[in-house]
Amino acid sequence: MLVSDFDYLLPPELIAQHPLADRSATRMMHVRRYGGPEIDNLQFRSFPDLLSPDDLVVFNNTRVLPARLFGRRSGSRAQTLSPQNPASREFLTGRVEVLLTRQIQADPPVWQALVRPGRKLGVGEKIFFGEDAEHPELTAEILERGEFGERTLRFTGDFWGTVNRIGHIPLPPYIDRPDTAEDREQYQTIFARELGSVAAPTAGLHFTREILDRIAARGIETAELTLHVGLGTFQPLRHENVEENHLHLERYSISADAAEKLNRARREGRRIVAVGTTIVRTLEFAAQQSKEFGEQSGDANIFIYPGYEFRVVGGMLTNFHLPKSSLLMLVSAFAGTSRALRAYNHAVAERYRFFSYGDCMFIE
């Protein structure tokens, strides 16, 4: 199985650069593996009507942190970096961009991160953050280099205060514009609570209070899990043979309440509907560890591609994903590769909006 088998042609103008004013006004492709037409073109507002009263719908309650930081190298020309002046793509002398990807330790804060320009920054070098060039509010020391080009950074100073004040929302690279103040809320789901992701679980971006109320009015049970989206979202697969690739660890947690709901649904033979690939990965990884769900947390690195036998998930809501990506492979495993690629080509032909701020598909 080759990575190039999961490719499709996408006109750049179909990549959504901004969200719609009404989150639930997005389009939704309905894809069936069995029974009825294979593909329907609907609006997301139809989603509650496609659910069964017996379904359990599972959301990811992670919250995106302002993980994109701009600082300066030790020994570089002093500069004042203002949070009101979003960084351009051009680097000034000594300018360093840091993208936090995964927390390793809380006290003192130790994070994995992507760093630009990475080649010039060695182990032991320091990066300074804050508006006052002479008295930085936050300092990061590079502890080691990682397998995928990331760095391990140890921070000293007011970590969360500085990150919340000068950090930028890490919009994906295919959104070709600087982040804005509005993105701090628009790039969050309405159930985002647990801070720790560097990318939004984008299938959840379509939900509004009205949609959730309609789901509740039908008596449909819901649950929330947490998976903090990490570096794997940004990294392309390195090996052409699919099976030779592996994914980064992502932190997850399942509460006792969610575990009880999941176990009851499975015992009763009810369908579990995952809102997003993050929920699919969390549920399927946890199911590999034990026959029943329990209150738990850990690191998941499951890589799902065609041939995988799903143990938990019976329905999936998801946005459209990048060509040749691990997430498109997950969708192909769930829908069937040929069906998934037909759906993507149909989406291009019908001018769907793609990726994080774009439209979605519901696969049964």
Q: Of 92, 93, 199, 73, give the one whose Cα is nearest residue 139.
A: 73
Verify cis geometry, omega within 30 degrees of 0, for the bond prior to 108: yes
Cβ-contact 148, 235 below 8 angstroms? yes
Distance CA 352, CA 320 (A): 9
Q: What are the Cα distances from residue 267, in Å, to 58, 272, 291, 293?
A: 17, 12, 11, 12
Residue 82 has a pLDDT of: 47
Pairing between β-strand 138-145 and β-strand 221-227 as defined by DSSP bridges? unpaired
Helix, strand, coil proportions of the chain in percent (round to 5)?
Answer: 25, 25, 45
Question: Residue-wise pLDDT tens for the chain (364 aa)?
Answer: 999 999 999 999 999 999 999 999 999 999 998 888 999 999 999 999 999 999 999 999 999 999 999 999 876 544 444 444 444 333 345 889 999 998 999 999 999 999 988 777 889 999 999 877 678 889 999 999 876 678 999 999 999 999 999 999 999 989 999 999 999 999 999 999 999 999 999 999 999 999 999 999 999 999 999 999 987 666 788 999 999 998 888 999 999 999 999 999 999 999 999 999 999 999 999 999 999 999 999 999 899 999 999 999 999 999 999 999 999 999 999 999 999 999 999 999 999 999 999 999 999 9
- The 3-class secondary structure across 202-244, one letter per residue, is HHHHHCCHHHHHHHHHCCCEEEEEEECCCHHHCCCCCCCEHHH
Question: Could you count the other beta carbons within 10 Å of the beta carbon of residue 167?
Answer: 21
Distance CA 268, CA 300 (A): 27
| DSSP letter assigned to residue 327 | H
Distance CA 60, CA 228 (A): 9
Residue 90 has a pLDDT of: 35
Residue 117 has a pLDDT of: 84
Cβ density class 185-194: b for 16+ within 10 Å, e for less: ebbbbebbeb
Q: What are the Cα distances from residue 26, in Å, to 18, 202, 216, 283, 354?
A: 12, 12, 21, 26, 11
Both tokens assigned to 146:
């990682």
Question: Could you count the other beta carbons within 10 Å of the beta carbon of residue 129?
Answer: 25
User: What's CA 342's distance to the chain center, in Å?
Assistant: 24
Residue with tokens 């992701």: 197
Residue 133 has a pLDDT of: 67
Distance CA 130, CA 164 (A): 12
- The 3-class secondary structure across 180-197, one letter per residue, is CCCHHHHCCCCCCCEEEE
Residue 135 has a pLDDT of: 82
Distance CA 178, CA 174 (A): 11
Show the CA angle centred on residue 153, arms to residues 150 and 200, nearest 5°.
60
User: Length of the chain, please?
Assistant: 364
Residue 6 has a pLDDT of: 97
Q: What are the Cα distances from residue 76, in Å, to 13, 87, 140, 212?
A: 39, 17, 15, 51
Residue 21 has a pLDDT of: 95
